[in-house]
Every structure is written in structure tokens, then in C-alpha cells.
């Protein structure tokens, strides 16, 4: 594998939304139950910046493969050193090692962004993502039992963390 990464541009938001929406039907990755729109994600995108909370576009073999981002945790200044990491890949490229490359890239960039703690918010039934983060040295820092109602099924949300 050899993924390439670049900072997302406004014109990438359509692809970002499409990739995100592709995960909704599985009920394994996001708590959104209906597709989101580019317009509804504009504020989220604008809240990111390459120097503090970047969104990266992931490419593989010259094609768009997905995206990843750091997002601020809890929105208060005392938590500026903590960020949530999200990784979303195109359906046909999941499970092929790109997630590991993306996670390693994010961790290697975190210190220069003044991030000391990286969090992953992952559903308890999302074994592939849990395995990815655990193999990278993340630990279980918390569990919110049954907080997500995924079409009638209550799901746990695990908080995984890693101190850098």
C-alpha cells in the first residue's frame, strides 16, 4: 500500500459527503441514520484548518480513496490538546490496509498540530475499526452503553484513546 495525503479543499466536500453517506446503511460507523447533504456539512468543513484541525483527502493509485480528519474535542480551551480522529474510506478500499496508513499518518502529524491525546469514538460492534485502533496502541478509555439507537438496536459507543 502507498496512500497519498493532501489537505482537503472546498471542492472536495462533495466526495467527502458521498464517502460518509456510504457508511450509513451498515449502521456500524456513524450515528447518522439518513444521508447528509453538502450544505449540512459545510459548517463542519469550515471548522477545520490545515494548521489546527485538518481534513485530509486520501488517494490510492491515483484515485480518490477517502478522507480523514481531526476534530476538536468538547469545544473548550482546556481540551485543545485532545482531538477526535475520523477515517472514512471508499467501500471497495476498506480492509486493504489504507486505514492503517491513514491512522499512522494522522498520528505522525498530531504533535505538529499540538495534539497530545487522540480519541476514536467507535461503536462497540465495529470490530474492524476497533482492531485497527487497538493495533495502533489505543486503549479503551470509556464506554457509553446503549447510547445509540440504530434502527431499534441499542449500540454501545466506545471511546478509545492514545497519549502521544
Residue 63 buriedness (CB in 10 A; 0-12 / 13-18 / 19+): exposed
What is the per-residue pLDDT across 34-46, written as a single tens digit (0 to 9) for each? 999 999 999 999 9
Q: How many domains does the chain have?
A: 1
Q: For 104-152, what is each residue's pLDDT tens digit?
A: 999 999 999 999 999 999 999 999 999 999 999 999 999 999 999 998 9
Q: What is the CATH number of the domain that holds 33?
A: 3.40.630.30
Q: pTM to 2 decimals? A: 0.95
Strand partners, 156: none
Domain span at 8:
3-163
Amino acid at each position: 500500500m502507498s496512500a497519498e495525503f493532501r489537505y482537503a479543499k472546498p471542492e472536495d466536500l462533495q466526495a467527502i459527503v458521498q464517502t460518509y453517506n456510504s457508511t450509513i446503511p451498515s449502521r456500524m460507523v456513524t450515528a447518522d441514520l439518513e444521508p447528509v447533504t453538502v450544505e449540512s456539512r459545510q459548517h463542519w468543513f469550515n471548522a477545520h484548518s490545515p494548521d489546527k484541525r485538518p481534513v485530509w483527502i486520501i488517494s490510492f493509485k491515483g484515485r480518490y480513496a477517502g478522507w480523514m480528519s481531526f476534530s476538536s474535542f468538547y469545544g473548550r480551551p482546556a481540551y485543545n490538546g485532545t482531538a477526535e480522529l475520523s477515517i472514512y474510506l471508499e467501500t471497495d478500499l476498506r480492509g486493504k490496509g489504507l486505514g492503517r496508513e491513514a491512522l499512522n499518518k494522522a498520528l505522525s502529524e498530531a504533535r505538529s498540530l499540538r495534539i497530545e491525546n487522540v480519541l476514536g469514538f467507535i461503536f462497540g460492534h465495529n470490530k474492524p475499526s476497533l482492531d485497527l485502533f487497538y493495533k495502533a496502541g489505543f486503549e479503551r478509555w470509556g464506554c457509553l452503553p446503549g447510547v445509540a439507537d440504530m434502527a431499534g438496536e441499542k449500540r454501545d459507543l466506545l471511546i478509545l484513546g492514545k497519549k502521544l
